Chains A and B, each alone.
Chain A
Amino acid sequence: MDAVLYSIPYLLDGLGITILVSLIVVALSLIIGVILGVGIIYGPLPLRLLIRLIGDGIRGIPILVLIFLVYYGMPALGLNLSSFWSAVTALTIFKSAHVIEYVRGAVLSIPRGQMEAGMSIGLVFRERLRFVIFPQAVRRFLPPWLNGVTDAVKGSALVSLLGVVDLMHAINQVIGRTYEPLPLYILGALLYFAINYSLSTLSKVLERRYSYIRE
């Protein structure tokens, strides 16, 4: 019990980093994924193929490999990123590839006539997306995306392998000092669970909120 009490300030610091990493990754991957997702649906053929190729490639690589690839590969390209930003970059690339697929699935589920109705009243492409397609697609997008957000939180534990002191790394550091792995891992698991359980609860609330369109 002493070990647990002793660990708390360290774990909270680590938890802060875990949340920070997750937030950055989720926000960046959302922006990149939505842009590329629109590109893969409406872009010219070469662009569609390119996004498809890169997306499929990334989703076919284990996230751990991707993290090391970025960490060791970026300096070779002349980019020296800290281990924090290497980890964030790798996770963002990985998540973006998934967001592309969520966007694609959600947007393609909207009947073609919706785009045409938007065209026929004279909306430009951007307006058709904003006022016609996205408001309808968001309902299909949210469940897999929020699922992906919890994956991002869990996946962020891998940044500890680059020496970033996130929740996972903080747990290991405390264990290194106290030699009491079990209670600390249980505590860590509970913290991860607390975050992800709140997220999945939020996801249920949002799904209900967006369920106004009946089919």
Chain B
Amino acid sequence: MSATSLLQIDKLNKSFGENQVLTSVDLNVVAGEVVTIIGPSGSGKTTLLRCVNFLETYDGGSIQIDGREVGFTDSVSRKRRGEADLAGMRAETGMVFQSFNLFPHLTAEQNIMLGLRRVRKKPHKEAREIAQHWLARVGLDHKADSLPSELSGGQQQRVGIARAVAMDPKVLLLDEITSALDPELVNEVLDVVRQLAVEGMTMLVVTHEIAFARDASHRIVFMADGSGRE
């Protein structure tokens, strides 16, 4: 256990009713590290990721980002954080979803700007510059004014990544981000992720792309039956 862990998961337990999904999972990720989680369907990979930004509450154990417990004020009392506090914690992690989950009523640029404006409280002009910067980074500066429905799956997912990283999160969580894509679109998305990895973005990645896991990540954790092995 390293003191410099950016993300520290200890003895995490989570069950859905009778079904124990995570059993005493430990995982540490240091700053700048890319950790990939692989494993069969139903092994709890996605659930683990969703616990990290508290889209799922966990039943026991602890998740800390930069020394702060994620969903609760501390891991002992397990008092749930208030709404504003929780939102603040969630903004520290960026999440990219399997099904993109872009906001369909907003343009690519507006998708990225929403969090910058409302959560990071950036003025309109600055938020827009950041959005344009990230759109350019994912190769979509010419699509700033397009609605998600006007973009291909690969383009949508790249906007999804831009939306997450533009918030300057401490950890980026990628949840099977290429699973919903046609095979020929997978690489344009993974290239963006590889580049982020090179630049030192801390990432926790759930994927079925074994080749990607091997060459882009520092560590691979294999999950089976709710617990992890390296």
Contacts and interface: CB of A to CB of B under 8 A. Distances in A.
Interface of A: 111, 113-114, 116-117, 119-125, 127, 131-132, 135-136, 212-215
B115 A116 contact: no
A111 B104 CA distance: 11
Given A131-B114, A136-B105, A212-B147, A120 B90 contact: yes
B91 A124 contact: no
Q: Closest 4 interchain pairs by CB?
A: A122-B91, A121-B115, A120-B95, A117-B101
Contact of B102 (A117, A119, A122, A215): A117
B136 interface: no
A123 B149 CA distance: 23
B226 interface: no
Nearest to A125: B83
A113 B84 CA distance: 20
Interface string B75-89: 000000001100110
Contacts of A116: 55, 95, 97, 101
B207 interface: no
A136 B104 CA distance: 8
Nearest to B114: A131
B118 A120 contact: no
Interface residues of B, number: 28
Nearest to A138: B105
B115 A122 contact: yes
B45 interface: no
Interface of B: 53-55, 83-84, 87-88, 90-91, 93-95, 97, 99, 101-105, 114-115, 118-119, 147, 149, 163-164, 167
A123 B105 contact: no
Given A116-B55, A136-B105, A213-B105, A121 B97 contact: no
Given A116-B55, A212-B147, A214-B149, A123 B87 contact: yes
Contacts of B105: 135-136, 212-213
Given A117-B103, A122-B119, A213-B105, 18 more contacts: A111-B101, A113-B99, A116-B55, A116-B97, A116-B101, A117-B101, A120-B55, A120-B95, A121-B90, A121-B94, A121-B163, A122-B90, A122-B115, A123-B87, A123-B115, A131-B114, A131-B118, A136-B103
A121 B91 contact: yes
A136 B148 CA distance: 13
Nearest to A128: B87
A111 B103 CA distance: 11
A132 B94 contact: no
A129 B109 CA distance: 20
A43 B230 CA distance: 42
A146 B97 CA distance: 36
Query: Interface centre among B55, B88, B105, B149, by most A CB within 10 Å?
Result: B105
15 contacts: A113-B101, A114-B101, A116-B101, A117-B95, A117-B97, A120-B93, A120-B95, A120-B164, A121-B91, A121-B94, A121-B164, A136-B104, A136-B105, A212-B147, A214-B149
Contacts of A124: 83-84, 87
Contacts of A131: 103, 114, 118
A168 to B, nearest CB: 41
A122 B103 contact: no
Given A113-B101, A114-B103, A213-B149, A123 B93 contact: no
Nearest to B104: A213
B105 to A, nearest CB: 5
A48 B40 CA distance: 38
